[in-house]
Amino acid sequence: MPSVSFESVTKRFENGATAVDDLSLEIHDGEFMILVGSSGCGKTTALRMIAGLERPTRGAIRIGEQVVNEVSAKDRDIAMVFQNYALYPHMSVARNLGYPLRQRRVARAEVDRRVSEVAKMLGLDELLKRRPAQLSGGQRQRVAMGRALVREPEVFLLDEPLSNLDAKLRVQMRAELKRLHARLGITTIYVTHDQVEAMTLGHRIAVMSEGRLQQIGAPQAVYDTPRNVFVAGFIGSPPMNLLRGRVHQGHVRAGDLELECAAPDGEVIVGLRPEALKRIGAEGPGLELEVAVVEPMGDEVIVHGRIAAELAARPAEAAVRSSDEPLLLADEEESTAMIARLDPQDRPQEGSSVRLGIDPAAVHLFDAGTGERIETRRSEPVYAATKEQ
Amino acid sequence: MATIASLKDDTFLAIDDPPPARRRRLPFSPWHLVLAPVAVVMLVPLVWMVILSLETKSEAANFPPVLFPSGLHFGNYVTTWNSVPFGDFFLNSLAYSAATVAGNLLFCSLAAYAFARLKFFGRDVLFVVLLATLMVPYQVLLIPTFLIVKDIGMVNSVGGLIMPNLCSAFGIFMLRQFFRTLPVELEEAARIDGTSRLGILFKIVLPLSLPALATLAIIQFMWSWNDFLWPLIIINSATRDPLQLGLATLQGAHYTEWNLLMAGTVMSQIPMLAVFLIAQRWFIRSIAFTGMK
């Protein structure tokens, strides 16, 4: 199995939109790589360039050692599963599965053998005579997978293959995909905007935004140390809470929250994962959360609320304003939406307020100007404290 | 109005409401009042054609026209068949129509696919120019077309009859519009699966375009089958005459046997009916297909 690499690849469309901007990325031999990002971030365009459906404006794409920019789609040894499956409606399942082989003039006996092999692997044996219109969503998805696998391609491309399935089937197919990859070891590139797929499926994930690669790494590593505010907000569900704050002489302050940190002075964005918040008693340092909505999930409770997050710089800003000018941003500045993930026994009442303590190891700091991560020395004692202390 | 929404309030409201005014409904859609007269206007010439074909020579020549003939003279059909080489005309027409239908299906789909999916310089301008040619009246094109065919040396030949009609701007336009509605992912999937551009057209696009192809086939067949002017100009030996020219020979300079002419005309329309009935299920599906992914 070959590796796949992007070398400073840029794709600009005729209408001037830049879909992929200077992307450099190497997908190793046999790796399961996830391209993740919100819609329009260029992940699908990147995938289509590997497939040969789009031509890069600049840069090179390699499959193995070969630069494939000028190689047509049919001559790259790749297979792709489309979001809407793209099964040929006028062919039976068997003919759909065998199509890529017939196009490559594989002998009929061999086509039949491999079609039945793939059909057995994906549980499609009973459906071989049906047309795509007679299949359920999950079955169509499996046929699309089968059509891609039957050729035993060198690179396997998947464009949001599970997004049209219902939740239960998605969980099932996710596990199946993982099993298939473990068994076949094909270099796989998987595009998704789904958090869970991104975290669970791949060896590494590449987070993209506005055509640029934001971060690449093992899912857990990306989750634990997001490189910038975008990644921090994007990876993780519910998303990380991001508060505006300020570092002053080794202390970061965001509203009520004050923490010791080893970051240089300046405006920062403080990131707190919902699970870093724990309910604590009235005593001890913590944050006051006004509970708005409680979502019991069974094993956990997602609590949406607001905290008083007055900005350190606010008094100065307020002084500049003339008295009759309405404080348009007052609401946003005086309180900030916050999501916490609590144990079911800690479930608060809607409309009440709870005190939340913070796991100090889980505080992330980002530069307010650039959005880049600020490394804080974790060995230093970091603690949560109220402003009064 | 109700401050407390309760089921009870709602039921009372419902009861108090006056019953919806019951309109007197026609047993048919009001549109039929418009459509029925139009249908009658369309049908009259056809019905009259059939009536004339069954009348005697004097009844057909009578004025005012005889609408209820004294008897049904089916013999007119036999007489017509025997008085001119009707079978030959028929075969000539069939060859002409079949060849132009086949040519249109092939060449129009090739051009239409290029206009629909390939990217090349000046594509859209070229397409507009092509559409503009639809505006040029046929009579204007007739003489230049004749001169070209004459220069090639194909006057009075089957080739000269067929060749200028092998492809039409209308067919290209119609198929292009249809091809553009097909999901492009199917073609991309086929490209990845190792299919060439031509392969995609023949293995993926055309099988999915049967409704549009059937429609084009019907339209083209109708056009060729009823074509009179072009055969009249290009063919000048009776053995190569298609049906419409042959029928014209039944029309004398001074006297026309209308009953025989109409019998011939009725016979000449039968293949068109047959083609329509055969292609009809595709014709209708072409509308149903648009709702499908």
Choice between B22 and B98, residue whose per-residue pLDDT is larger: B98
Q: How far apart are the first and last CA of chain A?
A: 60
Q: Kindly report the pTM of this predicted structure.
A: 0.79
Contact A88 B204 (CB under 8 A): yes
Ordered by where they begin, the domains of chain A are 4-224 (3.40.50.300), 238-385 (no CATH)
Query: Quick count: other Cβ atoms within 10 Å of Cβ A46?
Result: 28
Q: How many CA atoms lie within 13 A of A97 on its CB side?
A: 34
pLDDT at A111: 96
Residue in A53, A87, A159, A189 to test binding to B, most B beta-carbons within 10 Å = A53
| Whether pLDDT at A235 is above 60 | yes
The reply to whether A97 touches chain B by the CB within 8 Å rule is no
Domain boundaries, chain B: 48-83+250-293, 89-241
| Whether pLDDT at A47 is above 60 | yes
| Whether pLDDT at B35 is above 50 | yes
Q: Which ipTM value was assigned to this complex?
A: 0.80
State whether the Cα torsion A258-A259-A262-A267 is positive or negative: negative
Model confidence band, residue B284 (pLDDT cutoffs 50, 70, 90): low
Range scoring the smallest mean pLDDT among A24-28, A202-206, A314-318, A347-351? A314-318
Q: How far apart are CA B67 and CA A258, in angstroms?
A: 104
- Residue pair B69/B56 in contact by the 8 Å Cβ criterion: yes
Tell me phi and psi for residue A227, to 5 degrees. -80, -25
Burial class of residue A239, CB neighbours in 10 A (0-12, 13-18, 19+): middle
What's the pLDDT tens digit per position in B52-80?
999 998 888 888 888 888 889 899 999 98
Per-residue pLDDT averaged across A243-265, rounded? Answer: 81
Contact A89 B190 (CB under 8 A): no
Model confidence band, residue B193 (pLDDT cutoffs 50, 70, 90): very high
State whether the Cα torsion B199-B203-B208-B211 is positive or negative: positive
Q: Which residues of A touch B185 (CB under 8 A)?
A: 82, 84, 86
Shortest CA distance to A5 belongs to which of A24, A32, A20?
Answer: A24
pLDDT at A333: 52
Residue in A71, A81, A88, A106 to test binding to B, most B beta-carbons within 10 Å = A88
Shortest CA distance to B181 belongs to which of B209, B207, B157, B210?
Answer: B209
Complete edge-to-edge strand list for the sheet that includes strand A373-374: A373-374, A363-367, A266-272, A241-248, A251-254, A257-260, A384-385
- Residue pair A173/A141 in contact by the 8 Å Cβ criterion: yes
One-letter identity of residue B21: A
Q: Which residues of A touch B193 (CB under 8 A)?
A: 74, 79, 99-100, 103, 147, 151
One-letter identity of residue B76: N
The full length of chain A comes to 389
Model confidence band, residue B288 (pLDDT cutoffs 50, 70, 90): very low
Q: Which residues of A touch B188 (CB under 8 A)?
A: 51, 53, 73, 80, 82, 86
Choice between B241 and A308, residue whose per-residue pLDDT is larger: B241
Q: What residue in A sits closest to B188 (Cα-Cα)?
A: A53
Distance from CA of B175 to the nearest CA of A (A): 18
The full length of chain B comes to 293
Residue A254 β-bridge partners: A257
Q: What residue in B sits closest to A50 (Cα-Cα)?
A: B192
Q: How many CA atoms lie within 13 A of A387 on its CB side?
A: 12
Contact A86 B183 (CB under 8 A): yes
The reply to whether A385 touches chain B by the CB within 8 Å rule is no
What's the pLDDT tens digit per position in B136-157?
999 899 999 999 999 999 999 9
Query: Quick count: other Cβ atoms within 10 Å of Cβ B135?
Result: 7
| Whether pLDDT at A383 is above 70 | no
Per-residue pLDDT averaged across B188-209, rounded? Answer: 93
What's the pLDDT tens digit per position in A129-184?
999 988 888 899 999 999 999 988 999 999 999 988 888 888 888 998 999 899 88
Is B89-241 a CATH 1.10.3720.10 domain? yes
Compare CB distances from A80 to B192, B199, B208 and report the shortest one's residue.
B192
The reply to whether A103 touches chain B by the CB within 8 Å rule is yes
Contact B185 A53 (CB under 8 A): no
Q: Which two tokens stand for residue A260?
A: 């010791």
Based on DSSP, count helices (H) and strands (E) in chain B, helices before strands.
17, 0
Tell me phi and psi for residue B142, to 5 degrees. -60, -50
Based on DSSP, count helices (H) and strands (E) in chain A, helices before strands.
10, 22
Q: What is the DSSP letter of A268?
A: E
Distance from CA of A68 to the nearest CA of B (A): 14
